[in-house]
A and B are shown apart, each in its own frame.
Chain A
Amino acid sequence: MSALLPWLDETAHMYTPLKAIVFITALVPLALGIWDGFHDALGANLVEEITFRSGRWTLRFLLITLAITPLRKCTGWSGVVRLRRMLGLYAFFYACLHFTTWLWLEQFFSWADILEDLGKRRYILVGFGTFLLLLPLALTSTHGMQKRLGGGRWKQLHQLIYLAAGTALLHFFWLTKADYRDPLIYLCVLTSLYILRLPALEPWITRLRSRLKPPTTRG
């Protein structure tokens, strides 16, 4: 329950207004989708539009989740880390919508077609693989699971997100027909987020942070 409604979590993190705001904001894409659906604004191919939107929001939330650590390092704002689990779970939430749309509205649970699709088409396979990578991360996202696994192992497991973000983007590249502009933008963002983690950049980031910090001395 605490994973779904994080501000009710009394064990480790207390309610914070910021968490509540982020929780509500992250539901806006879903709310907009439902609104558009009822107002004939999802375009002519409803299923395709739902697939596109849920897929893009999965990728965006993966990138936002991966942006937390660089953001903390660059700004020194450690509180932002408390948002990470919720954001990661939102990536999984939109991934579930995306996956369910494919399974149900696209394939109508026709297992033969699904297996054929997986066997024949690499972008389907890598998309499915991404979902499988995110699944254990979501299942072990609670404090209970974190304790049961132990900090070290839990951390190791959750490094799968680096792989998942990469395969999600590969899925996007491989399904693109001709215009690679959008997947290239996502690639730039993801690469920057990886680069910002390089140990070689630590001194540079420390210097940047000290410059960003407002002067604390008073006259």
Chain B
Amino acid sequence: MLIKNPEQIRASEITPEAIYLDRRRFIQRGIGTALLTAIPASLASAASRYSTTEELTRLKDITRYNNFYEFGTSKGSPGIHAGALSTHPWSITVSGACEHPGNYDLADLIKAAEVEERIYRLRCVEAWSMVIPWQGVPMGKILKRFAPTSKARYVAFRTLLRPAEMPGQRRDILPWPYREGLRMDEAMHPLTLIATGLYGKPLPNQNGAPIRLVVPWKYGFKSIKSIVSIEFTESEPPTTWNLQGPDHYGFYANVNPAVDHPRWSQKKERRIGDIFKRPTLPFNGYAKEVASLYTGMDLRKHY
């Protein structure tokens, strides 16, 4: 929708990568106060208390190293094939236990004025990680508009199914379309983001254009891309990787260094751009914000 209405694009969304990096540098050095006046006010005010100050992963790496099997199973495939995907027009079907179901145009769903920046760590289940400056809207804000009823205990999401433009869907690698889900309290958590951009630009196709989920304390596969359906459900919805390998990929999929993937350890991760690995943190470093969502749950069982 940002492309459709260019006049609505905020200054923060067209800031070049270099300025992003500069801004971060002087904020980190703590000497940037005077210089900050040179940066558009909207950008300075966009710094969220949820954002990390860690070094950003390069845009080049964020856009050439993707798990988006709809465009092929190698990391480079989405960057090569996703350009063919047409994201205009884009509408999202809202259904299930809510008072305002329907078919919503993306532009009606997300107002440019409420878009904010969140710099999150992204930890893939494959033991690599990135730091990505997303632009988006906290998902709770959007879901509230549909007035979910008391029966809505989970939210289920689906990715676009369009084999003509998504060559990976022409082979039965995964049961298409890709599905993911969250418990209602996870979906409403202020960290949970519906992203429409990164590095100040509309989402590149290989990163899940035009609209995707970002749940920073869960493994990356939970953060479903190119969403076309949101459904409020009473019971836990089936999710793609869980269907594919129930003992490998759980419904919760919270980042947890204590629970290994059967085929590799989750104790450490390689931050993209680094050679050697670093320790992985419980809930990907967001334990303070989200650990309370899981009190009383055995996270070894509910991995």
Contacts and interface: CB of A to CB of B under 8 A. Distances in A.
Interface of A: 40, 43-48, 105-106, 108, 113, 116-117, 120-121, 123, 174-175, 177-179
6 contacts: A44-B61, A47-B275, A105-B275, A106-B277, A178-B73, A179-B171
Prevailing SS type, chain B contact patch: loop
B173 A45 contact: no
Nearest to B69: A178
A43 B64 contact: yes
B294 interface: no
Prevailing SS type, chain A contact patch: helix
A44 B59 CA distance: 10
Interface stretch (B133-141, B196-204, B259-267): B259-267
A44 B65 contact: yes
A43 B270 contact: no
Interface of B: 57-58, 60-62, 64-65, 69, 73, 75-76, 128, 171, 173-174, 244, 260, 262-265, 267-268, 270, 272-273, 275-277
Contacts, number: 53
A43 B75 contact: yes
Given A121-B264, A178-B73, A45 B276 contact: no
A113 B128 contact: no
Given A178-B73, A178-B174, A179-B173, A45 B272 contact: yes
Nearest to B57: A44
A113 B265 contact: yes
B263 A178 contact: no
A45 B263 contact: no
A120 B260 contact: yes
Contacts of B69: 178-179
Residue of A44, A45, A113, A175 contacting most chain B CB atoms (<10 Å): A44
